[in-house]
Amino acid sequence: MAIPTKRYFYDRTILGLQDAYPNIDWKIQPREVFLVIDDIVNAMAKENYFENWKLTGANTDEAYITTWADDAALTVTDVTDQPSYLTFPSIYAALPMNNGIVEIWPLNYEYGSVKIRRHEDIRRTRHLMSGNMQGQLGGFPRGILFVFDQVDVGKNYGTSFGMRLVIKDSSAISETAPFPVAADKAEEIIKRAIEFFTNKRVKPTDVIRDRNDAVVRN
């Protein structure tokens, strides 16, 4: 089973509320649900619920290194007569020398990690004997894409790639990208989200315009 997306957690949360209270119009905005899910996941990451979310030190600006692999692996796109590419699943931290991209590798373990280069490196070495990096696979980030320096990467190396990125929190992950949380914690996330909105509904309305009812951000 492919790993669910953030949208999956939203849909399950709304469905759980509707099942529990079928005659109530909750009028919950999607953005509010996504904020709550992000808060829950970030809190659980800090509580070490997820082995693939690691809080690191100053070298990565106190950010998370988040892993997309196995069921959450990314699929390479091959384009006829054009370099193959991957679509980044998240906005990674802007660190010098593209260090927000920690690692990219084909899940076919016959091959090593992808060499992360800058676009100018590829232009500068294209006509040198070392330009093909002795057959090693490399590439560079371009906007939301990681562009390989070869064509037919999916055909030659395999269609599935792992990726590790430095991201500040789960809000940087789009709602349609794989949400890299442990499968056995998915129900816990949904349960916490449903409980949040259930508890919020039963609380008396606060008519004072202050920040006491705001979603607590991490």
Average pLDDT for the chain: 78
Nearest of 148, 149, 12, 134 to residue 74 by alpha carbon: 148
Each residue's pLDDT tens digit, 73-117: 999 999 999 999 999 998 887 777 788 898 999 998 888 899 998
Contact between 164 and 67 under an 8 Å Cβ cutoff? The reply is: yes
Q: Which segments of the chain are extended strands (E)?
A: 53-55, 64-68, 74-75, 77-79, 82-87, 101-106, 115-116, 138-142, 145-148, 160-167
3-state secondary structure of 43: helix
Helix (H) or strand (E) holding 45: helix 30-46
Model confidence over 23-65: pLDDT tens digits? Answer: 666 678 888 999 999 999 888 877 765 666 654 433 443 335 7
Residue 182 in 3-state DSSP?
A: coil
Q: Which domain holds residue 37?
A: 1-50+181-203
One domain for residues 106 and 57? yes
Q: What is the pLDDT of residue 20?
A: 73
Residues 166 and 60 in one domain: yes
| 124 and 34 within one domain | no
Per-residue pLDDT tens over the stretch 154-199:
999 999 999 998 887 788 888 888 887 877 888 999 999 999 988 8
pTM value is: 0.64
